[in-house]
Amino acid sequence: MPNPPPPRPSLVVAAAVVALLLAATLCHGGKTSLFVRKVEKTIDMPLDADVFAVPPGYNAPQQVHITQGDLLGEALIVSWVTVDEPGSSKVIYWKENSSQKKTAQGKASTYSYFNYTSGHIHHTTIRNLEHGTKYYYEVGIGHTVRQFWFVAPPEVGPDVPYTFGLIGDLGQSYDSNRTLAHYEMNPQKGQTVLFVGDLSYADNYPNHDNNRWDTWGRFVERSTAYQPWIWTAGNHELDFDPEIGETKPFKPFTHRYRTPFKASNSTAPLWYSIKRGPAHIIVLSSYSAYGKYTPQYKWLEAEFPKVNRAETPWLIVMMHSPWYNSYNYHYMEGESMRVMYETWFVQNKVDVVFAGHVHAYERSERVSNIAYNVVNGMCTPEIDQSAPVYITIGDGGNLEGLATNMTKPQPKYSAYREASFGHAIFDIKNRTHAYYSWHRNQDGYAVEADRHWFYNRYYNAAEEPSIV
């Protein structure tokens, strides 16, 4: 039998191209940005910088910040610090274009950490807010009064547009200031910040210098006093240092930053949930016990059945330590938590998970590794349209600098990664679509370095198209 004719060169080339593309699809991931940030050291702003200035006046309130105060957004926690004396914990507030003023009464407390004693930290909850209404509020009653404003969120519902800003690992460097300014100047205005942990980095200074909590609070006040920041605790909030006698984890953070944890039946302020507009947001603590039968585990197990996707179609999870991370920094630190909870995330069709910790940016494909167990050897993350997109946004700009060392080749679960500082916007349009964009500090305010259309996993669980 005669030998068959050799294949035409064009077919050989085509077959080779197909094989290479298939290999790339199976072995390599998405895009590693070609943008190269100018090599420069991250430097803290000096303590006499204007962003750290103490407001003038006797006992003037400082470090003013607000966060959601209940499950549905009908309450707001207002917090601030007075230094000269306790003063009043009263908040006076009123609706825009109204002369009728109301008052809310809170409480003040102090704490000590090593050789530091805090100012008087006030927390006051305003209740029965009208959805979508702009309010003015005043603090410092009886001494130096300071006035701010906020807008209450829309009523919880599936087709309510709402825009979240995303910031993580901020610190108080010149790059931190650029990140916050870039977020403030973004024409696509965030209405609430989802903050994924690591606030002041006070623990990076000798004896966890808690004065750095004060400077940080004054630095971010220009945003935190006007829109709620939803807090996640990171490793730099632990402040656990037995060598100086400090053995209570999260002491400064929990005294200064309150969360509405009781509204979602949580037993601790470090894990909780809220509803805001069309989103159900679950906040987890990467540095609290999360194994089986722990309080956090039992709470999350009970929380998922409460999610009503007909009411809040967008299911968002926040944590600090990422589960999917292709940088050589903090690599696989979130693995044990992933093993505990990932199946729940896939079963409940979480739309997106935001994390920090790694000081760079990365967005994943929709992937899961729930098929793996210790005997079947199936240990490679696979594309899974029921799984969340995992976004690491620990790129706020803190003193520790950028994570620039990436694993190579880029794994297939990684869609886009870049070692730059920045922030992101998650703009929910309706029950089916949300537009996401990431903005590096070096660009103009409207420039999108990465972008992605999210299709809701409950109402529109189709595969999302890539945006080049």
Active-site annotation holder among 236, 330, 359, 423:
330
How far apart CA 259 and CA 237 sit, in angstroms, is: 14
Closest CA to 370 of 395, 399, 350, 356: 350
The verdict on whether 123 is a catalytic residue reads no
Gap between the Cα atoms of 84 and 120, Å rounded: 9
Q: Which residues are catalytic?
A: 330
